[in-house]
Structure 1
């Protein structure tokens, strides 16, 4: 009789539907189009079926998976690191740009353009082994807080996007980050924050050297940028590193336009997803005139290309993983 009990009990348990995979997405067209796309490419009986090996999804990071205002978080890290280094060696601040960075003067850095940004990155990132650099990033993430929200930076990830990443993986997709952010910077937190392992992160990277340090073979970050993973560089890096054209791409700015354009130009079912920052109360509202995450081409051309434009204010019931 005891052997029959589990069978009897199992037949008495009512059938329940699986939990909503996207609970922080409101019931709008954007959510419905995502679900319809995923249903189509994962149903073997559908004309849109795509084998798991080809279910590649790529995501920008800054402004797409976590916030990017008032400036990119990696730049805030670089400024904090420079200020820390200058306490023990003031001579490191050898230019007006570096002096501005150590003071947290974002406008002073911006006045110098791209060259100033590279100077700040070189001074704060180079000369360290990759392991030491990543330890420094981890320590910063443990203590630093965002000036507006007071949240740890790695809790300013977008809850709806974390859910989307998980949903796609549950449906047989392989998810990648393809970002203008530094590859070694993102690899510190991305697996914990997004469930994306280091080998599935594509980003900007410094020149590097191979050295024997205290008898140990070591990769050292050198001055100079070897590759900038932005704009047209994104599809180039995807082709070089992944070797397949994705069927799903998500971004938030014109820096992601080429990646979405290349992804959705392929044959078969495709989806381009643009995050439009429309929520000035819970986050920030910006697009065409923003100094960070400028979005013009995506708004003007994306709809005609069939892309989904996510309205953060209306399509998301929650913003951050760290706060409703």
Structure 2
């Protein structure tokens, strides 16, 4: 029979004292964030299950965290795939759930329209101890209202100087896409970007332009702005195709956008990569299970969830600690949707 994992085993695995492990389990503010990471990793690795029934009900906290998903469209067509609400929330939640495993925290979620002038119900009701804010689009005064509420919060997917945030390096995303297409000999690049109003869209475009800045050969890049849904991307690419524009490579600004591009290509008999190379961004389940799995830049959404969760727990227990602004390095996942057009 396997011996039961104890708190001493966790302490040994993490290289800390038993009392430090106990403090982390009880969400104490006395433990450094780095040490919390080590202890929680050890708990997950060993499968240690704390005895929460033995804990006194000494805190005034609800031990519930909220996930607020910001969207401009609370209702959309069931056959319209939008990777931001359809997969971002799920993928980020994998990392949050992993971090909260073996704690007594529960999760509630709410979709909130960015057109509202109030705050989400999860915040105003006082049911949660802190919130994750997911989604790049919000009104300028939203963060001010959030700060005024006093609710501990972490922004996921976008930076803000006045609130804890965890996001991908989106300038690097555009740079990686541009370099990959240039190095494989493409001369006429089409970038189907997200909404023009999004700061995240501008960062991806900045990165793409930076990648092309020092290219002396005749490489051109055209940018179109679309919504994040497959239907909007389909309509965007259809219009420019009808007008006669023929790129040799397309960069999709999200998996929803890239799904729309793929749908258009398949319906029109456009071969990928023989006719047009394709690279996407995000790496949701759609990038691997389409008719043509495509080269994609991974934003590591699950890791963003883990980091954001640790940051939020730290903010709850250490309200006066320094702000966290973490950017994750994206990575390229190469598949068969890009052909090398370089002349040997």
Q: Where is the helix percentage greater, Structure 1 or Structure 2?
A: 1
Structure of higher RCO (CA pairs closer than 8 Å, 6+ residues apart): 1
Q: TM over 0.5: same fold?
A: no
With the length of structure 1 as denominator, give the TM-score of the two structures.
Answer: 0.33
- TM-score normalised according to structure 2 size: 0.31
